[in-house]
Structure 1
């Protein structure tokens, strides 16, 4: 069981860390730090323009803001949107929780499976509150909230608990955490089992760090997901216009997770993308950007029409 969880953690980043990507454009924007919600949060603003509609993008498990890559960031900015991107708590330039230590993964998984409380230094609710506190600090009245994987879960919490701050929601390769949904496939666990020890593990760890991931934080953030449990009731309360994107080939968070999310949110749009697993590959990126921009453009057009 410990091997399964280690494989899961590695698989989260595997499709991304091995890919060539650029982050030069992202890094050309200063990384600032501000105190919010009892922690320090590191953030960047791209395409800053007072009159532009705002977008908040939330990265997944163990990933810093750099993991988004230049292609997606430029693509959204070119649509006329101002982007707020940041490091979740426990990652990158934001407050780290290394002093809390590492959870005993196999024990916490057993507890989660039988419904006992899981030990975690924070929850998805805390991370959603961080997001909204940062918006407050920066004067964002509302924003289109986009999240991928764990970031999609955080985005769902923001949309459910802070509806007045959510202009729209885009949930990418994410989940409601419902207990009936399928676990990662054996393929997702087995692909990297041989990398769990020795030199291969060290090499993969170095690749992850170079790509903008923080492996030491990933087990703690996984516990935050487990501790938050089934969020179906919250997700079903979401009123914001919602786009749910998922990959046909996602073996880590299989497509039924995205289907369930869309089924719960009244009026949401669900798009299942070919050639996409638990990643955002180069060949699919143009469609991802077009889908997101099209979704947000519709919301903006409706808001403009309503204001006339």
Structure 2
């Protein structure tokens, strides 16, 4: 049974996003509140879909384990994860990197679920190197 999510105003969505996203940043990392608020406003303007997040979460909870399907893959792969991510433990990234032959693993100390701006250059370098491979 699906529950219809209440429609919120743009300001309410921005405020809720800032409240929730704050918890995705690791302790000690700069809280990029202005950027989060701006991104929430852009996302709202692009297409507000209040049922999207609950549907995504429900799909994630129902999804079968796919780790075994990764074993035996041999393709350019870079896996990035925050050591302090409270949404998904960093050991999941290690398991995925171990399963995919030749995968590059980058676990960032001090990073939570959000990718802090100071790591963007490193991420761009890793993704570019992976794409060229």
Bigger strand fraction: 1
Q: 1:212 matched to which residue of 2?
A: 43
Task: Count how many residue pairs are aligned between Structure 1 and Structure 2.
Answer: 105
TM-score after normalising by structure 2: 0.64
1:280 equivalenced with 2:111 (yes/no): no
Largest Rg, 1 or 2: 1
> For each residue in 1:118-142, what CA deviation from the matched residue of structure 2 results, as whole angstroms up to 9, or x when unmatched?
xxxxxxxxxxxxxxxxxxxxxxxxx
Cα distance, 1:277 vs structure 2: 1.0
TM-score after normalising by structure 1: 0.30
Cα distance, 1:238 vs structure 2: 2.6
Structure number with the bigger relative contact order (C-alpha 8 A, sep ≥ 6) is 2
Cα distance, 1:262 vs structure 2: 0.6
Q: 1:14 matched to which residue of 2?
A: 21
Q: 2:96 matched to which residue of 1?
A: 261
Structure 2 residue runs of 5 or longer lacking an equivalent are 1-16, 25-30
Partner SS for 2:61? helix
Distance 1:238 1:284, change over 3 A: same
Structure 1 residue runs of 5 or longer lacking an equivalent are 1-9, 22-66, 68-205, 300-308
Q: Matched residues in 2 for 1:239 and 1:14: separation? A: 34
- Contact 1:209 / 1:215 at 8 angstroms: preserved in 2? no
> For each residue in 1:102-122, what CA deviation from the matched residue of structure 2 results, as whole angstroms up to 9, or x when unmatched?
xxxxxxxxxxxxxxxxxxxxx
Cα distance, 1:207 vs structure 2: 8.1
1:270 equivalenced with 2:101 (yes/no): no
